[in-house]
Amino acid sequence: MSKDRRSIVVTVDGQSSTGKSSLACALANRLGMNFLGSGSIYRLCAYFMLRGKDLEAIKELLTESLAFKSTQGDMSVWVQGEDLTAKINDAQVTKMASDIAKDVAVRTQLADLQKGFQSGLGLVAEGRDMGTVIFPRATLKLFLTADVAVRAKRRKVQLEQMGLSPDYDQLVMELKARDHQDETRAISPLVPAKDAVFVDTAAHWDENLEQMYQQVLMVLPKQVMPKEVVQIFDQVRQDSMRYAQLGNVSDYERWWKGCSEASSKKFQGEIIGASWLCPIYVRDFIPDPINAHLSILQNTSAVEQAMLSVFIATKPSYERLFYVAALCGQYAVLSNRLLALQDIVG
């Protein structure tokens, strides 16, 4: 069965403390998509079980009132309006979460809850089995890695910020033990999906986020665009690179004019309003507005960013939107007239 073009899911799997939840939550915000923190769901389940609640009641409670919030590089978890982030990160809940995660009844109930997050514009789902078990047909599967020493150091800082006092050596031992337990369990073990893209998160947080965002930009348009738009897009991409190398803008404009007229005829009525959207977004992505026209030609990923932004901003049907976005992309790459853009933006 082919992947459903309309359903965008980005999965972020990986070992403990590689940055799954904080990076995936920030990525979801940047993309304007829903976020699912499956690790927190296992932690909450353990937390409420320790307080005597049964699985059904926990599932109901979380379905009704679970919320994730992203705050400056960290993610917080709220249930019934209460921030439970620190409480679900203490050592007892952490160990219990990994223990109950081996239980098939727990996994089945929580799988239903997790799949329910797939609505709206798209979903970024974080956890250990998001790409392998819960969303095997995801649009993009990222798998985060980092050395255990790096992870333990980060986890120590994170827990200290929550008011806890962890010991570094103890954390290294716990991380290794939990990784081993998660990797070797019989159901849904922590393994990279066959089609996963690896991201080493040893780098700076912003750099990791940018890298993940660029991965989305690379796959998303092709995943959801109709074939004929993919062809247009590829052509724009190739030609823009060629012309950027040659520095020959006028030939490029001539080509675009013909192409644009043909597209306008083909998608008549579909492109209303599109011509002004793209310049606004491209302007936001280009750090040096004076040389924006050159940057656009030299940096084709700006076109992809523009397309994605238009997609996020307008939210109509994917088909229609990507006709618009592809044409916006052409416009951005080819128009090459900063004054005209400013005139349009006003």
Ligand X SMILES: Nc1ncnc2c1ncn2[C@@H]1O[C@H](COP(=O)(O)OP(=O)(O)O)[C@@H](O)[C@H]1O
Q: Which of residues 121-160 bind ligand X (CB under 6 A)?
A: 154-155, 158
Length of the chain: 346
Residue 16 assigned ligand-binding role: yes
Evaluate whether 69 touches 78 at the Cβ level (below 8 Å): yes
- The distance of closest approach from Cβ of residue 65 to ligand CDP in the complex, given in angstroms and rounded to an integer, is 19
Q: Does residue 16 touch ligand CDP according to CB under 6 A?
A: yes
Q: Which is nearer to ligand X, 16 or 330 (CB)?
A: 16
Q: At 316, list the tokens.
A: 């109509």
Residue 266 assigned ligand-binding role: no
Q: Does residue 51 touch ligand X according to CB under 6 A?
A: no
Q: Does residue 205 touch ligand X according to CB under 6 A?
A: yes
* 249-257 contacts, C-beta under 8 A, 24 or more apart: 249/293, 249/297, 249/336, 252/297, 252/334, 252/336, 253/334, 253/336, 255/334, 256/330, 256/333, 256/334, 256/335
Q: Does residue 142 touch ligand CDP according to CB under 6 A?
A: no
Evaluate whether 295 touches 302 at the Cβ level (below 8 Å): yes
Q: Does residue 98 touch ligand CDP according to CB under 6 A?
A: yes
Q: Which of 146, 178, 334, 338 binds ligand CDP (CB under 6 A)?
A: 178
Which amino acid, one-letter code, is at 256? W
Q: What are phi and psi of 200, to 5 degrees?
A: -85, 120
147: how many CB neighbours lie within 10 A of its CB? 12
Q: Which of 8, 9, 10, 23 binds ligand X (CB under 6 A)?
A: 23
Q: Which of 8, 10, 13, 16 binds ligand X (CB under 6 A)?
A: 16
Q: Does residue 90 touch ligand X according to CB under 6 A?
A: no
- The distance of closest approach from Cβ of residue 123 to ligand CDP in the complex, given in angstroms and rounded to an integer, is 14
Q: Which of residues 215-254 bind ligand CDP (CB under 6 A)?
A: none
Query: How far lies 257's CA from each of 76, 248, 253, 295, in Å?
Result: 50, 15, 6, 20
Residues found near ligand X in the complex (CB under 6 A): 14, 16-23, 39, 73-74, 154-155, 158, 201, 203-205, 208
